[in-house]
Amino acid sequence: MAKNDLIIRVAGEGGEGIISTGDFIAAACARAGLEVYTFKTFPAEIRGGYAMYQIRTSPDRVYNQGDTFDVFCAFNGEAYEANKHLLTPGTAFVYDYPGGDFEPDAIPEGVHAYPIPMSKTAKEMKSYRSKNMVAMGALSVLFNISEVTLKQVLTKKFGKKGEEILNFNLQAFEKGRELALALNKTDAWRVADPAPPKDVIVISGNDAAGLGALLGGLEFFAAYPITPATEIAKYVATHLPKLGGTLVQAEDEIASIGQVLGASYAGKRSMTSTSGPGLALMTEMLGMASMSETPVMLVNVQRGGPSTGLPTKHEQSDLFLALHGAHGDAARIVLSVEDVKDCIDMTVDALNLAEEYQSPVILLSDGSLAFSTQTVPRPKPGDFKIVRRKMWDGEGTYKRYAITDDGISPMVDPGTPGGMHIATGLEHTETGAPSFKGEVHEQMLDKRFDKIKPLVDRYHPAEVDGEGEADVGIITWGSTIGVAREAVARLRAEGYKVKGFYPKLMWPMQVAQYEAFGATCKKILVPEVNYQGQLSHFIRAETSLNPIPFTIYSGMPFTPIQMIDKVKEIL
């Protein structure tokens, strides 16, 4: 598969402007009509520690952060030490010299080296904070990043801070360009030329989930800050009050899910967001939502665990907890997003499903996707359908948990004449009156589980990537799907018989679809970012398939070449 994109990695110390540099370059490329996919990692410390930002840009759609970089820009010695083993023949290396805190070892043969005195220049300008502007100016010259769109992005960012600050940053940017123009460019790497502008936005996974909540008619949001999910709450806090909604920063995760349940009971479309430790705390209240058949939606942005674990690192290890983390048999729906666009679309889906099925819905994202930014088509509010909960028509005697053909009982808002009922976490009859009879418990458990079973056919079918028979079928979930897409395409281009299967409804499980896909593959490989092979476990438990688990758990996402090499090893 021919490479038609460019991957730039910028790394250094947290606080040096690494993240803002990446954001500026990504935004400039998007303004130039190109597709972008970014990946970033940063320390858990408030300031300092190793930070990295990777931008992949192409005229065509990109699905992941790529195998490794083509261009590496090191702001300091720590960044150099962390990445020097990746400097291979053909890569370009931009580094802070002279005047930085390191001098690189002998540059490997075939590596194109470009020393730029970033720190020295910034200090001469009497502001060390302008170092990243110097670096960005140099990168723009060396690798054809549109000067016009970069200046537009910088003007939008710094113009609101005053003309003096804007001009200073533009001067530092120009200094970097002058330094790069004095060098002899020896590599062939360049960002694609600007294309006609597209009607897109560049947005992170977390912000996209917040946007999806607003497009999905959200009315009430409560959450407790937790890495890496906090930005969802920040986005909603900025915009929900403008739409007449309410946001509460609760004192902890248990309080936040309690407030969401209360608001939903009162008739409001409600949700929260958290990460693994918060989801663990919320499990009792999710059981309450299941028992009381109260609509509630929760976005869980997975991070490295267990316990406090790796707060700023990537993992896909909450599947066990999301599907079955409950006391007793607590029915719920679980969805998983692939990319930033899914974070918009499937947040709307999740809110609708919670309302329609009067059930807890957990939407799984992850730490990589949370902070990754992508170009996505600008969403139009009119394109999203809002599903409302089934309401009582006022006829006859109201039974909150009436047995119906579809298992879904009409709800009432508190205060509705004739709609008085008991709402409790105890097992109950159709009226809500507590009951401890075995036959009642059986009847109501059947009701709660049976009502969500039709989803396996009603929700979007899992995507099958490829046709016919395959020697290896790849089944994966979450943001790992984007990596699998590229791996499958590259393997097919080499002549291998490979296909993919990408579920997004994780529970209830679309068993028949897994079986049908497995019947066309000699072997099944399941890549996922956790130690135990959690999806592999559920596939073995629920289907007749016997997949080969392929797990990584270093805090980083898969790269396409890892999957490609594994498939070749199997074959």
DSSP string, 84-112: GGG--TT-EEEEE-SSSS---SSPPTT-E
Can you give the pLDDT at residue 41?
84
The structure tokens 């997003």 sit at 337
Nearest to 273 by CA among 282, 265, 264: 282
Query: Per-residue pLDDT tens for 97-106?
Result: 999 999 998 8
Round the average pLDDT of the chain to a whole number and report it. Answer: 95
Nearest to 133 by CA among 145, 121, 144, 143: 121
Q: What is the mean pLDDT of residues 358-382?
A: 96
Q: What is the mean pLDDT of residues 369-386?
A: 95
Instruction: Measure the N-to-C terminal CA separation of the chain; round to a whole number of Å.
Output: 20
Q: At what angle are helices 340-357 and 205-215 packed, to 10 degrees?
A: 40
Can you give the pLDDT at residue 44?
65
Confidence of residue 74 (pLDDT cuts 50, 70, 90): very high
Q: Is the pLDDT score of 379 beyond 70?
A: yes
Domains of the chain, earliest start first: 6-181 (3.40.920.10), 202-383 (3.40.50.970), 390-453 (no CATH), 460-570 (3.40.50.920)
Q: Helix, strand, coil proportions of the chain in percent (round to 5)?
A: 40, 20, 40
Q: What is the mean pLDDT of residues 390-398?
A: 96
Q: Is the pLDDT score of 243 beyond 60?
A: yes
Confidence of residue 197 (pLDDT cuts 50, 70, 90): confident
Confidence of residue 12 (pLDDT cuts 50, 70, 90): very high
pTM of the full predicted structure? Answer: 0.94
Rounded to an integer, what distance in angstroms lies between the CA atom of residue 25 and that of residue 212?
25
Rounded to an integer, what distance in angstroms lies between the CA atom of residue 445 and that of residue 425?
13
- In b/e form, how buried is each residue of 178-195, taking b as 16+ CB within 10 angstroms? ebbeeeeeebebebbebe
Rounded to an integer, what distance in angstroms lies between the CA atom of residue 542 and that of residue 531?
20
Q: Is the pLDDT score of 1 beyond 50?
A: no
Confidence of residue 376 (pLDDT cuts 50, 70, 90): very high
Cα dihedral value 291, 292, 296, 299, nearest 10: -20
Query: Per-residue pLDDT tens for 157-186?
Result: 999 889 999 999 999 999 999 999 999 999
The mean-pLDDT minimum among 8-22, 240-254, 459-473, 489-503 falls in 8-22
Is residue 59 within 8 Å of 394, Cβ to Cβ? no
Query: Per-residue pLDDT tens for 103-124?
Result: 998 899 999 999 999 999 999 9
Nearest to 37 by CA among 223, 217, 147, 202: 202
Rounded to an integer, what distance in angstroms lies between the CA atom of residue 339 and that of residue 341?
6
Nearest to 82 by CA among 74, 93, 90: 74
Can you give the pLDDT at residue 46?
60
Is residue 332 within 8 Å of 362, Cβ to Cβ? yes
Can you give the pLDDT at residue 49?
84
DSSP 8-state symbol, 381: G
Rounded to an integer, what distance in angstroms lies between the CA atom of residue 345 and that of residue 340?
9
What percent of the chain has a predicted confidence (pLDDT) above 90? 93
| DSSP-based three-state secondary structure for 289 | helix
